[in-house]
Amino acid sequence: MKHRNEMSNEWIIKDAHFLKVKHLYYGLKNEVLIDFITTLFADNIYRFRLHDISNLYMLVGFKGSEHYLRPGEKSFAELLSKEDYATFQKHDQMILGYMMVSKSKKRQDIHFIDYIDTMVPKLNLANVMLEKYQERKPDVQLIPREFIHSSIDYWYLKQGYDLFCEEKYKQALNEAFYLDDIQDEIKWGVLYERIEKDLASQDDS
């Protein structure tokens, strides 16, 4: 699915590395990874297992990117909060966001977003990660495995799932993603609830 938001316009964000942890060994400092893992498990103790970490995709900003800024382009000091920039300065790099992806067991062209989060607000980093993933895997449909209430507005309004808000929305979704093939792999009840709520609002107006 083509994501509605564009990537960040900031060059320094576009230049951030987006790789699995196990492929970042050449550039990611041990102390940065350790601090991240400590925070990750403290906040998501039941969500991640230790062996999941190596397969996490990470968006990492590096100080070296600032050497190539053109006049008028913003530096990390201008984009990050004082607190985040202090963390960045400590190591000259910072994990900006992360995403866990898994493959469908039934469809080779479907990859599931199991979890996605950003460490820095207001930079559209989630969409940066989604777009970078799709650029590398253009033949894959990257979709959420599960919609949850706390993030439904992001997916529904900013990623274009509200486009399916019509009476035959389940048919439209099925035609777009062939959901019949993967019904036992997805949990889209919250999305269906949101669409039905909007359909009811249309009927009342």
Reported as a single tens digit per residue, the pLDDT across 112-123 is 999 999 988 888
pLDDT band (50, 70, 90) for residue 34: confident
Predicted TM-score (pTM) of this structure? 0.87
The region of weakest confidence among 36-45, 68-77, 83-92, 184-193 is 36-45
Q: What is the mean pLDDT of the chain?
A: 87
What's the distance, CA 24 to chain centroid? 18
- Domain residue spans of the chain: 1-145, 146-205
The number of beta carbons lying within 10 Å of the beta carbon of residue 108 is 10
Q: Exposed e or buried b for every residue in 45-71, given b needs 16+ CB within 10 A?
A: eeebeeeebeebbbbbbbeebbeeeee
The helix or strand, by DSSP H or E, that contains position 110, with its residue range, turns out to be: strand 110-118
Per-residue pLDDT at 205 exceeds 80: no
The helix or strand, by DSSP H or E, that contains position 114, with its residue range, turns out to be: strand 110-118
**pLDDT for the residue numbered 4:** 46
In this structure, whether the domain defined by 1-145 belongs to CATH 3.40.630 is answered with: yes
